[in-house]
């Protein structure tokens, strides 16, 4: 009867001997990356590769993806080190704001986002760290490279002509919004209380208080600080519950309380426009931002490569 336990112990020793529970896989200046760091970062990619490939091709893709993830971890570590040297910080509020922006752009809720990233094998804390690194990257690169990213009017005009199809606008409304978000797993009692709070805000609006003031004070939408101004939003780009009301309102008309999967909304239509080609002047800043982003990605690759050359990096994988 001792055969099974002894064999199990032997197999376990063999597995541990093949790859230790944890060890150093890379040294990046004064920091180290461990096997557990790599395995945690690699987990979501492993599932994707294993679901898409088989046999020898799967093994090759796993090996290549593992090297890519290690390289990315090294770059992230270099960025964090550089941020510490220069005093650049990313506050939790900035991460939350960025996630709220993503939710608004995708017309989705936090619960739906968590479910979506879980399908990719990622937990919300890992996702937040990814967002934090993106913000840090932007701050670092803008600090060092902003002066080299000037975008001229000629570039903007050329981009507009080459991407004309992107600016064939749909019917759109410019709305101002007050949004009271639902807490995660909010109870019926909590939702009822939040609705009552939103109804009070609507009453204050109907009594003549400025929309912009109440949005800045109480809205939890990304545009709260600018008086709730969401800019022009095309048909098909909003939460369905909000859109149904937005395109029925007259100019400067304020809606009632609208309930959506993410919370309670009050909106005001500030402007309207029909379909057709958007004038260059209305998309100039959007195009400028896109060109800057493209240039920044290119400069970042050069910047991180230069940082690697100046650093002590030793891979032990």
For the chain, the structural domain boundaries read 15-85, 171-274
**The token pair that represents 178 in the structure block:** 């007050």
d(CA 117, CA 127): 8
Q: Which residue has the higher pLDDT, 254 or 186?
A: 254
What is the SS3 string spanning 137-204?
Answer: HHHHHHHHHHHHCCCCHHHHHHHHHHCHHHHEECCEEEEEEEEEECCCCCCHHHHHHHHHHHHHHHHH
**The token pair that represents 222 in the structure block:** 């990304």
Give me the pLDDT at residue 5, please: 40
Q: Give helix 110-119 / helix 124-145 axis angle, nearest 10°.
A: 100
Q: Report, in angstroms and rounded to the nearest whole number, the Rg of the chain calculated over CA atoms.
A: 25
Give me the pLDDT at residue 35, please: 93
CA 243 centroid distance within chain? 23
Query: Long-range contacts made by residues 267-272, C-beta under 8 angstroms, separation at least 24?
Result: 267/175, 267/176, 267/177, 267/178, 267/242, 268/175, 268/176, 268/177, 268/211, 268/228, 269/173, 269/174, 269/175, 270/174, 270/175, 270/176, 270/229, 271/173, 271/174, 271/232, 272/171, 272/172, 272/173, 272/174
Give me the pLDDT at residue 145, please: 66
Tens of pLDDT along 80-139? Answer: 898 888 888 889 999 999 898 888 877 778 888 888 888 776 788 888 988 988 888 778
Kindly state the percentage of the chain with pLDDT values over 70.
Answer: 90
Give the mean model confidence (pLDDT) for residues 36-41. Answer: 88
d(CA 313, CA 310): 9
pLDDT at 49 over 80: no
- Which pLDDT band, with edges at 50, 70 and 90, does 206 fall under? very high
Q: Strands 313-315, 24-28: parallel, antiparallel or unpaired by DSSP?
A: antiparallel
- Strand ranges inside the chain, DSSP E: 24-28, 31-34, 168-169, 172-181, 229-234, 258-259, 263-273, 276-277, 313-315
The model carries a pTM of 0.51
Mean pLDDT of the chain: 84
Q: Report the CATH number of the 171-274 domain.
A: 3.10.50.40
Give me the pLDDT at residue 294, please: 83
């Amino acid at each position: 009867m001792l055969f099974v336990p002894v064999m199990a112990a032997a197999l376990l020793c063999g597995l541990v001997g093949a790859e230790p529970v944890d060890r150093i896989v890379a040294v990046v200046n004064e920091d180290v990356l461990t096997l557990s760091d790599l395995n945690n970062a690699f987990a979501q990619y492993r599932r994707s590769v294993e679901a898409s490939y088989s046999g020898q091709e799967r093994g090759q893709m796993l090996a290549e993806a593992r090297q890519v993830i290690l390289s990315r971890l090294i770059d992230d570590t270099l960025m964090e080190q550089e941020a510490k040297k220069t005093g650049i910080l990313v506050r939790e509020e900035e991460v939350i704001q960025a996630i709220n922006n993503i939710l608004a752009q995708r017309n989705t809720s936090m619960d739906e986002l968590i479910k979506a990233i879980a399908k990719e094998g990622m937990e919300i804390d890992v996702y937040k760290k990814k967002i934090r690194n993106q913000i840090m990257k932007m701050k670092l690169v803008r600090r060092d490279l902003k002066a080299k990213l000037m975008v001229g009017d000629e570039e903007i005009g050329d981009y507009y002509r080459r991407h004309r199809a992107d600016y064939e606008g749909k019917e759109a409304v410019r709305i101002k919004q007050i949004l009271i978000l639902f807490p995660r797993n909010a109870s019926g009692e909590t939702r009822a209380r939040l609705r009552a709070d939103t109804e009070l805000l609507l009453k204050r609006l109907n009594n003549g208080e400025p929309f912009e003031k109440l949005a800045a004070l109480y809205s939890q939408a990304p545009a709260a600080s600018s008086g709730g101004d969401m800019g022009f939003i095309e048909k098909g780009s909003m939460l369905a519950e909000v859109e149904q009301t937005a395109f029925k309102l007259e100019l400067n008309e304020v809606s009632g309380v609208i309930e959506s999967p993410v919370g309670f909304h009050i909106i005001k239509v500030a402007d309207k426009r029909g379909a057709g080609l958007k004038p260059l002047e209305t998309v100039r800043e959007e195009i400028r931002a896109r060109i800057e982003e493209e240039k920044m990605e290119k400069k970042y690759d050069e910047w991180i490569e230069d940082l690697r050359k100046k650093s002590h990096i030793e891979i032990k994988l």
